[in-house]
Amino acid sequence: MREHCGLCGVAGDPEAVALVAEGLHAQQHRGQEAAGLLVSSSEGLKVHKGLGLVSQVLSTMPDGWRTSGIPAAMGHVRYGTFGSGGVINAQPLLVRMAGVQVGIAHNGTITNAAPLREDLERSGAIFTTNSDTEVVLHLMAREMEGTGGHIRHSLELALERLEGAFCLLLLTPSELIAVRDPHGFRPLNLGRIGHSGWAVASETIAFPLCCAEYVREIRAGEILSIPNGGGEPRSGTFDGRETLFGGPCRLSQCIFEHVYFARPGSLVFGDSVYEVRIRMGETLAAEAPSVCDTVIPVPDSGMFAALGYSRKMCVPFDMGFTRNHYVGRTFIDPATARRAAMVTRKLQPIPEAVKGRRICVVEDSIVRGTTSRARIRALREAGAKEVHMRVSCPPHRYGCFFGIDFPEPSSLIANTRTLEQIASLLEVDSLAYLSLEGMLSCVRAHSPCDYCTACFSGLYPVQPPSDGIPRPCGG
Ligand code: AMP
């Protein structure tokens, strides 16, 4: 199972359900397989979830949830790949431990989930999903007796056993708890709603729709709890320590959130995704100019890098592809031939925009290369005289263990190939990637060494799972 997801929670506002629903809509790009909403109602915690888009899933939400003044709610959108299970893995998960209801939703990948799960199963734990998120619940449940049924303390003891990438939202009958792992792999942000309400979201693009104003990032290693009824959030452990995870830990924020995953209207790790992508395009133009008549993006993710590239090059930007928005996701289809066919259907060249011209196509990333090759061919068939390609990140050579869905390394076009070999496979007249240093020079809010670049450099900030299989599961 492979996932990459989005989180949204609201506490202290009687419109919490409607606001979380809006926050999930705004983050639909982070996961389209399943969605779910968990509310803290007068009859206890209740969950509603299903397969499909937020609009489909929430259209069958129980009557009255939106209007009954529920003060706290949280939700999740889930990205799953082919065969990654059904509604059983949809989140939030809701359980009762030692008589207390606890709901959880997760973005990231717990890298030591497999051995933890094996241990738990050996000692009798029964799992109902194949998601690593459930491991957290089982670890918490084991601590409940020793902590006298103290949820926060039990959670903190469970968190100390986790490795890898995890942004978590938990809802109990009394509080909404946000957690970010000490490496800060995935983004998580805090927003303020009026005087006593608060919102938490993976991406800040959710905040305007949640009627929230951005306050700050949830810090790496931070545990923040907000009373369901509103009031000041409390940061730190239940017994007053600032952070749970001990000494200093290298920040390892995922740079690929900026390259591809996040929405351009978001702040991610404190930087505007829009501005970072424009700078990536400008830096790419400075590093690898091309002789061309028109710069065109691969929509949608290559759009802003292409804009930056064309501005810096002083070459006109044009839309050379038209996108069919009604074709489903192409990236996850494991059958190469089928994926290529879907890609052709999804993006078609506009002959009038490319015919007889020297085109420079700007793409955010090349992964397997199959879609890129199909696009290059289509441009030539539409009459392009030359096709140059520029990519706004370095070559992807390694797998991700921290929550991005990439195929196994041997399927990555750049895994063992040189630039010339890749250019010849893609059938382009020239090819260049943004350098690692160039990419990192485009972020401003944190230092360049605060980012994980493992998929480009092979330098993993956290030990990969012992089987070495990229398993970006989680929530
Ligand atoms: P390909 O090189 O044919 O495997 O596909 C690369 C395209 O997939 C690029 O246009 C990217 O925007 C997009 N892409 C890159 N990484 C991912 C990912 N993890 N999930 C979905 N799409 C992705």
CA of 365 to the centre of ligand 1 (A): 6
The first and second tokens of residue 277, run together, are 């992508």
In a domain, 467, yes or no: no
Overall domain count for the chain: 2
CA of 463 to the centre of ligand 1 (A): 25
With a cut of 50, say whether residue 475 has pLDDT above it: no
Q: Which domain, by its residues, includes 141?
A: 6-250
Asked whether residue 241 falls in the same domain as residue 337, the answer is no
CA of 272 to the centre of ligand 1 (A): 21
Q: At a CB cut-off of 8 Å and minimum separation 6, what does 361 contact? A: 296, 297, 298, 302, 320, 375, 376, 379, 387, 388, 389, 390
Q: Strand 347-349 vs strand 167-171: parallel, antiparallel, or unpaired?
A: unpaired
Asked whether residue 216 falls in the same domain as residue 280, the answer is no
Confidence grade of residue 473 (pLDDT, cut at 50, 70, 90): very low
Which atom, in ligand 1's list, is nearest to the CA of 339? 3
Which atom, in ligand 1's list, is nearest to the CA of 364? 12
CA–CA separation, 221 vs 249, rounded Å?
9
Asked whether residue 198 falls in the same domain as residue 288, the answer is no
Which atom, in ligand 1's list, is nearest to the CA of 256? 16
Mutating to test ligand 1, I would choose from 29, 260, 343, 366 the residue with most ligand atoms within 8 A of its C-beta, which is 260
In a domain, 258, yes or no: no
Confidence grade of residue 407 (pLDDT, cut at 50, 70, 90): confident
Asked whether residue 217 falls in the same domain as residue 167, the answer is yes
CA of 159 to the centre of ligand 1 (A): 32
CA of 294 to the centre of ligand 1 (A): 23
Asked whether residue 12 falls in the same domain as residue 156, the answer is yes
In a domain, 264, yes or no: no
With a cut of 50, say whether residue 2 has pLDDT above it: no
Using DSSP, state whether 452 is helix, strand or coil. strand
35-50 pLDDT, tens digit each: 999 999 999 999 999 9
In a domain, 49, yes or no: yes
In a domain, 386, yes or no: yes
372-388 pLDDT, tens digit each: 999 999 999 999 999 99
User: Which pTM does this prediction carry?
Assistant: 0.94
Write the residue with the smallest CA distance to atom 21 of ligand 1.
331
In a domain, 462, yes or no: no
Average pLDDT, the chain: 92
φ, ψ at 93 (rounded to 5°): -90, 140
Write the residue with the smallest CA distance to atom 7 of ligand 1.
366
With a cut of 70, say whether residue 89 has pLDDT above it: yes
In a domain, 461, yes or no: no
306-336 pLDDT, tens digit each: 999 999 999 999 999 999 888 766 676 656 6
CATH number of the domain where residue 178 is located: 3.60.20.10
The pLDDT value given to residue 316:
98
Confidence grade of residue 55 (pLDDT, cut at 50, 70, 90): very high
Helical H runs in 27-147?
54-58, 113-122, 133-143
Catalytic option among 5, 292, 393, 452: 5
Write the residue with the smallest CA distance to atom 18 of ligand 1.
405
Mean pLDDT of 291-320: 97
8 is catalytic: no
Write the residue with the smallest CA distance to atom 11 of ligand 1.
365
Asked whether residue 279 falls in the same domain as residue 232, the answer is no
CA–CA separation, 62 vs 363, rounded Å?
43
